[in-house]
């Protein structure tokens, strides 16, 4: 098998060299036997880290003389010419990727042969005109990627058949002008995802997109030479699900004016993005034409306040305000968004004051993300701050300042399913702050200084909890013995206790968790994988990576089910005769070992599965053992003789 693989690997390398050294010939030449080499080799490297992932499927007809691939991938092979009938022998070809080839000439019949080519990528091919691409055999095309070339005009776009096209990518070209005539062919189709990202547009004809029905339209970073108002005039009459008008960090500043936003009175859009844009004159009527909008993304839009009576956003359900400059949560004026179900104010650029009752108008809110925003409160948190949010299902308060909690801080949000308090140090005024959250399924308390050994009732009331993350919370005693804490969460399925300075586990600490399927005890100080602490090993994933485990007693491992696994990677495992049984067990149960390639001997760094131990009893050990046995036998014999003599003496009396 090794020689077989080596042979086809050599063929593959030769094929690549042939392609890269003789691009003009290889573009015309049809590989047959080498195709199989390429297929076989790629199947070997597929899914490896660092390798490009793609599938090669083929049909075998008679022998391997003819192979019909569904994908061809030629990445930077210096192909400059694609001649007639290059793919004539590939009727089943579905995907053709010619990325990074400086194409000078593509013959009219270059794509003849494939009966249903669906995906074509000519990205970074330096094509200057759309008219240079033959369209006769692209009737069934679904994806066309022409990004990163040098296309300057859209002349020739109408030559393509758009009946089945789903995605057209024209990113990072040199397109300066878009006219109504250029987009005429798109009038007969609907739902296409169209992208012009990174083109330095100078002019868009007014109402150029009138009558188009698109799935999405992306003009990100197209405003270095053109005002957003000019583009919005060109978009009048458009209907699209998603519209992106943001810019990038390295783009020149771009401003959105209230006057320009009035073009949305003639644009139908459901999802709108203005990432990194500046709003020069935001007023109460700025968004009055967005009456049908459902999702608005204003990430890093340099906002510090919303007008108090922002008009006409009755259908807005998702609002993203990440990385802005609000100082008080009241400054968003929540009453502007009565139908909101998702609100994100994450990574606010200034410390955010969590004022009481400011979110009360958002009675429909289901998801609230206030992470990384330097939250602070004047009074104990969080009932008044979350007042009115009775339908909230997910609350993310992670990575914020220390908080003083009320006895039951989440009484205003009793429907919570997911609560994230990562890196939030809280001061308790009761031992059971979550006792009324009967619907909570996921609780993240990682790095929050929650020591279960001193807070046995912390989890009280969480009868329906499925996932508990306690990563980074040091167990002061080192030994996790108090099983009472976990008796409060009988339905727990996933438990994370990594980085908790645990040195040992109590024998029955997890016995009450009968539904447990995943436990992470990595990055602790355990010297033995205490599998006896669990109720069952039939269906469970155990992570003991990065501990201090040297020797392993496999007696407890015998209960590991076929679908169970254990991770012992990055432990100082001893590859000596004292670990002989464990090493043999690993070899026989490799399918149950996670990260087996990183499970190595501490001294030699050799993979455990490759260790070959020959453990025999030495002459010295044998002599010592025999000596001990003889001594014990002599002692027992003397003891027996003395006892018989005593019994005989008593019998004479």
**DSSP H or E run through 367:** strand 367-369
Could you give the CA distance from residue 18 to residue 40 in angstroms, rounded to a whole number? 18
CA-CA distance, 206 to 54, in Å (whole number)?
Answer: 42
CA–CA dist 510, 487 (Å, integer): 9
Q: What angle do CA 230, 232, 234 make, to 5 degrees?
A: 75
- The length of the chain is 653
Among candidate residues 494, 495, 492, 517, the one with its CA nearest the CA of residue 505: 495
Residue 373 C-alpha from the chain's centroid: 23
3-class SS of residue 533: helix
Is the CB of residue 568 less than 8 Å from the CB of residue 592?
no
Spatial separation of the C-alpha atoms in residues 461 and 411, rounded to whole Å: 13
**Which residues pair with residue 213 across a beta bridge?**
190, 239
The predicted structure's pLDDT at residue 7: 57
How many helices (H) does the chain have, and how many strands (E)? 8, 34
Structure letter (DSSP) for residue 44: H
Distance of alpha carbon 534 from alpha carbon 554, whole angstroms: 15
Residue 258, pLDDT score? 96
Q: CA 305 → CA 282, 329, 553, distances in Å?
A: 9, 9, 63
Q: What is the pLDDT of residue 26?
A: 41
State how far the Cα of 389 lies from the Cα of 387, in Å rounded to an integer: 6
Q: What is the pLDDT of residue 602?
A: 95
Give me the phi and psi of 318, to 5 degrees please.
-125, 125
| pLDDT score at 652 | 55
pLDDT profile of the chain (653 residues), mean per 10:
52 50 40 36 36 31 39 82 88 92 92 91 94 93 96 95 95 97 95 97 98 98 96 98 97 96 98 97 94 97 94 93 98 96 98 98 98 95 98 98 96 98 95 97 97 91 98 93 86 98 91 96 96 92 98 89 96 95 94 96 94 70 65 77 66 55
Q: Under a CB-based contact definition with an 8 Å cutoff, are residues 362 and 385 in contact? A: no
- Is residue 575 a contact partner of residue 606, using CB atoms and an 8 Å limit? yes
pLDDT of res. 73: 75
Contact residues for 382 (Cβ-Cβ < 8 A; gap 6+): 354, 397, 403, 405, 406, 409, 410, 412
- CATH architecture entry for 443-620: Alpha-Beta Horseshoe (3.80)
Do residues 421 and 449 make contact, with C-beta atoms less than 8 angstroms apart?
Answer: no
What distance, in Å, lies between the first and last C-alpha atoms of the chain?
87
Phi/psi of residue 185, nearest 5 degrees: -65, -25
Q: Look at residue 613 in the predicted model and tell me its pLDDT.
A: 87
Q: Which residues contact 42 (CB under 8 A, 6 or more apart)?
A: 54, 56
Residue 218 three-state SS: strand
Q: What angle do CA 400, 404, 406 make, to 5 degrees?
A: 125
Nearest to residue 54, comparing CAs of 34, 75, 68, 33?
Answer: 75
> Under a CB-based contact definition with an 8 Å cutoff, are residues 437 and 411 in contact?
no
pLDDT of residue 63: 25
What does the alpha-carbon distance between residue 174 and residue 337 come to, in Å, rounded to a whole number? Answer: 40
The pLDDT of residue 69 is 55
Question: Do residues 114 and 90 lie in contact, with contact meaning Cβ atoms separated by under 8 Å?
Answer: yes
Q: Are strands 60-61 and 63-67 parallel, antiparallel or unpaired?
A: antiparallel
Residue 262 — left, alpha, or beta (φ > 0 → left; ψ -120 to 50 → alpha)? alpha
Q: What is the pTM of this model?
A: 0.84
DSSP state of 430: S
Contact criterion met (CB below 8 Å) for 328 and 309 = no
């Amino acid at each position: 098998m090794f020689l077989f693989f080596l042979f086809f690997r050599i063929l593959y390398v030769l094929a690549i060299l042939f392609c890269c050294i003789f691009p003009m010939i290889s573009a015309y030449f049809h590989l047959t036997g080498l195709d199989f080499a390429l297929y076989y080799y790629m199947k070997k490297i597929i899914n490896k880290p660092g390798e490009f992932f793609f599938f090669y499927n083929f049909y075998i007809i008679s022998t391997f003389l003819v192979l019909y691939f569904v994908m061809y991938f030629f990445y930077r092979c210096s192909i400059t010419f694609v001649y007639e009938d290059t793919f004539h022998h590939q009727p089943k070809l579905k995907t053709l990727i010619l990325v990074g080839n400086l194409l000078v000439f593509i013959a009219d019949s270059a794509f003849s042969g494939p009966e249903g080519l669906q995906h074509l990528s000519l990205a970074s091919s330096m094509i200057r005109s759309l008219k240079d691409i033959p369209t006769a055999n692209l009737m069934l095309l679904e994806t066309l990627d022409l990004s990163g070339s040098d296309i300057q005009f859209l002349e020739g776009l109408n030559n393509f058949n758009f009946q089945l096209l789903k995605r057209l990518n024209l990113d990072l070209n040199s397109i300066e002008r878009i006219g109504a005539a250029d987009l005429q062919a798109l009038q007969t189709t609907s739902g296409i995802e169209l992208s012009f990202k990174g083109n330095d547009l100078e002019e868009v004809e007014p109402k150029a997109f009138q009558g188009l029905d698109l799935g999405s339209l992306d003009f990100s970073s197209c405003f270095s030479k053109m005002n957003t108002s000019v583009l919005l005039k060109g978009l009048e009459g458009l209907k699209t699900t998603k519209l992106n008008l943001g810019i990038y960090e390295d783009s020149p500043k771009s401003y959105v004016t209230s006057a320009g936003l009035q073009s949305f009175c003639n644009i139908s859009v459901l999802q709108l993005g203005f990432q990194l844009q500046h709003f020069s004159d935001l007023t109460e009527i700025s968004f009055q034409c967005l009456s049908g909008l459902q999702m608005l993304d204003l990430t890093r839009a340099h906002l510090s306040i919303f007008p108090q009576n922002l008009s006409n956003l009755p259908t807005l359900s998702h609002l993203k305000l990440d990385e802005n400059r609000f100082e008080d949560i009241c400054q968003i004026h929540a009453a502007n968004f009565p139908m909101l179900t998702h609100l994100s104010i994450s990574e606010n650029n200034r410390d955010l004051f969590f004022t009481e009752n400011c979110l009360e108008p958002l009675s429909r809110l289901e998801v609230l993300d206030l992470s990384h925003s330097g939250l602070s409160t004047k009074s104990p948190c969080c009932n008044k701050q979350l007042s009115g949010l009775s339908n909230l299902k997910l609350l993310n308060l992670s990575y914020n300042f220390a908080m003083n909690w009320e006895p039951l801080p989440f009484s205003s949000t009793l429907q919570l399913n997911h609560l994230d308090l990562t890196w939030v140090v809280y001061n308790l005024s009761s031992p059971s702050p979550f006792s009324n959250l009967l619907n909570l399924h996921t609780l993240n308390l990682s790095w929050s200084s929650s020591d279960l050994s001193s807070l046995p009732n912390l989890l009280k009331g969480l009868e329906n909890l499925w996932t508990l993350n306690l990563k980074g919370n040091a167990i002061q005693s080192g030994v996790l013995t108090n099983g009472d804490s976990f008796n409060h969460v009988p339905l727990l399925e996933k438990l994370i206790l990594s980085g908790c300075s645990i040195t040992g586990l109590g024998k029955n600490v997890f016995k009450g968790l009968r539904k447990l399927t995943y436990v992470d005890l990595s990055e602790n100080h355990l010297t033995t994988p205490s599998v006896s602490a669990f109720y069952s090993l039939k269906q469970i994933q155990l992570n003991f990576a990065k501990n201090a485990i040297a020797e392993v007693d496999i007696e407890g491992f015998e209960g590991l089910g076929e679908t169970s696994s254990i991770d012992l990677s990055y432990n100082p495992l001893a590859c000596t005769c004292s670990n002989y049984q464990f090493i043999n067990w690993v070899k026989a149960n490799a399918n149950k070992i996670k990260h087996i390639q990183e499970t190595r001997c501490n001294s030699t760094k050799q993979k455990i599965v490759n260790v070959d131990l020959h453990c025999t009893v030495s002459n010295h050990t044998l002599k010592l053992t025999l000596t001990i046995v003889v001594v014990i036998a002599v002692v027992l014999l003397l003891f027996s003789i003395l006892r018989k003599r005593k019994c005989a003496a008593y019998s004479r009396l």
